[in-house]
A and B are shown apart, each in its own frame.
Chain A
C-alpha cells in the first residue's frame, strides 16, 4: 500500500522491527532499576539510622561508607565489584582452593510473544554485579536523603516517645520513621529519577540493557539518531511516570503538619 514512505517514518518502522530486543532491554533496565532502588532504600535506611543514632563508631563507619561512595565514580565502583571475584579467584587458585564459580550463575528464560522468542537473562554474574553496584551506590545517596528527613523530625518527638516508656528503637520505629519517610518522598523522588539513567553503566561489563540493545539495533540498521532518540523517549516516559506516581503517593500519605 505504501510504496514510498517519508524517510523518518521509514526509519522508525525499521527500528521498531526490533521490538523484541527493545522489550528485552527494557526488562533488563527495569530489573536493574527496581532492584537497585529497593536494595538502595533498605541499605540507605540502615545507613541513615546508623549515622544518626549509631553512636560514635557505627556512625563513623556509615559516614565513611557514604563519603567513599559519593566521592568516587560509579564506573570505578562497577569495575571494582566486577573484577573483585576474578582477583579473589586467582588468589584462591594460588592457595590450591576451588575458585568461585562465577560463570555458572545463570538463569535464563524464553519469553514467546507473537512470532518472536526472546531469550531473557534473568540473572547472571554480570547482572549481579550491576545490581550490587547500583544498589550499593544508590544506598549512599538515599541514606543522605533519609537522614535529612530524620533530622527534620526533631528530637522533641523522640523525647516525648521515650517519656512514655518506649525504648529508643521503638520510638524511632513508631514515631520518627513514620514521619521521616513521609517527609523524604519529594527528595527521594530525585534519586528515583536519577537512577534509571545511571543503570546504563552496566553496558561496560556486557549487560545488554536498553542501551546495549540500542547498540545492537544501530549495528544492524544504521539508524543511529532514530534509535537513540527512541531509547531516550523510553527513559523519559519511565521517569515521568515514576515522578507522577511518587507525587501521587506523597499526596495520598500526607498528614497535616508532617
Chain B
C-alpha cells in the first residue's frame, strides 16, 4: 500500500539514507528501530515529503508521490504523522488541535469538525480534556491528542516517530495502549520505537536501520530469538539494559563485585 523504493537522502556532506526500500501492506504495522542518528526520523519525514528525497520514490496506493503534478499537500493529508515531541499547536485547545485539519484542509463546517474531533478525542480517552491547552496537559495526554489529530484526517497510513521516547516512564503505558488499540482496529502504521513489547504485540515485521541502511529485517520473533548481525545483537543487548528486565544489569554488577 505504501512503498519506498531506493530512498537516498543527504544533508550537506552527511549521507543519512543510503538506499532504503520497503513496503507496508494494508492494515500492517511495521516497526523501525535502530541507534540514534541512524536516519529513522529522516526516513519518516521523507516518506511524508516534509523533506524531499534526493533519489528514490515513494508510492501510496501505486501512485508516485514524487511525480510532477502531484500536489504534496493533498498527499500529506493522507499520511498521518505523530511526533516525538508531540508538536501540538500551542495556541489551540486539544479539541481545536484535532479539528484544525478537518476545518482547514478538509473544509468541514465548524460544528461537524468539532463533533468528529470530539469523537477522535474519545478514541484516545481524552474527551474530558477537550478544552485544555497543550501546556496544561501531561506529556502522555499531549501525545494522545497528537494521535487523535493524526487519526482525525482518516489517513491511509500513520507514521509514528518515537512517540513515547520523550515521556516519563509512568506515562508510556497510556500512549502504548492507545497505539495498540488503533493498531488492532486495522490502522496501517509505520512506527519508529524501541518499545519491544509493542513491537512483539502488533508488528508484522521489524526493520533494523543503522547508518541509513536497513541492516536486518524480520518478525519480532526473529529478532528476539535469533538475530543474525552482530550490530543488532549488540543493540538489542543495550536496549535490554535500558528497558529490559535488568537481567543484564544484574549480571554486570555481579561480575563487577566478583572481581
Q: Which residues of A contact B (CB under 8 A)?
A: 156-157, 159-167, 170, 174-175, 178-179, 182, 255-258
Contact = CB atoms under 8 A, between A and B. Distances in A.
A163 B105 contact: no
A160 B91 contact: no
Interface string B56-98: 0000000000000000011111111101010111110000000
Contact of B89 (A157, A162, A170): A157
Given A156-B83, A160-B83, A257-B135, A166 B101 contact: yes
A167 B136 CA distance: 28
Contact of A255 (B76, B77, B87, B133): B133
24 contacts: A159-B83, A159-B87, A160-B81, A160-B83, A160-B149, A162-B50, A162-B76, A163-B48, A163-B50, A163-B80, A164-B76, A164-B77, A164-B101, A164-B149, A165-B73, A165-B76, A165-B105, A165-B153, A167-B73, A179-B89, A255-B135, A256-B136, A257-B134, A257-B135
B77 A257 contact: no
B50 A159 contact: yes
A239 to B, nearest CB: 29
Of the candidates A156, A163, A178, A255, the one having the most CB atoms from chain B within 10 angstroms of its own CB is A163
A160 B104 contact: no
Nearest to A253: B91
B26 to A, nearest CB: 21
Interface residues of B, number: 30
A159 B51 CA distance: 10
Given A157-B87, A160-B89, 8 more contacts: A156-B85, A157-B90, A162-B73, A164-B153, A165-B78, A175-B89, A257-B90, A258-B135
A126 B90 CA distance: 45
A256 B149 contact: no
Contacts, number: 78
Interface string B82-122: 01010111110000000011001100000000000000000
B98 to A, nearest CB: 10
Contacts of A170: 104-105
B133 A257 contact: yes
Question: Which of B45, B77, B91, B150 neighbours the largest number of chain A CB atoms within 10 Å of its CB?
Answer: B91
Contacts of A166: 73, 101, 104-105
Interface of B: 45, 48, 50, 73-81, 83, 85, 87-91, 100-101, 104-105, 133-136, 149-150, 153
A161 B134 CA distance: 15
A160 B77 contact: no
A179 B88 CA distance: 12
Contacts of B80: 163
Contacts of B45: 159
Nearest to A165: B77
Contacts of B134: 257
A93 to B, nearest CB: 53
Given A163-B48, A165-B77, A255 B101 contact: no
A164 B105 contact: yes
A42 B134 CA distance: 30
Contacts of A157: 87, 89-90
A193 B54 CA distance: 49
A157 B81 CA distance: 12
> Which of B48, B85, B105, B150 counts the most A-chain CB atoms under 10 A from its CB?
B105
Contact of A178 (B87, B91, B150): B91
Contacts of B136: 256-257
A179 B153 CA distance: 23
The residue in A156, A160, A161 that gathers the most chain B C-beta atoms within 10 A of its C-beta is A160
Nearest to B105: A165
B155 to A, nearest CB: 9
A191 B77 CA distance: 40
Nearest to A179: B91
Contacts of A182: 91
B50 A165 contact: no
A175 B91 CA distance: 8
Contacts of A161: 89, 100
B42 to A, nearest CB: 13
A182 B83 CA distance: 24
B133 A256 contact: yes
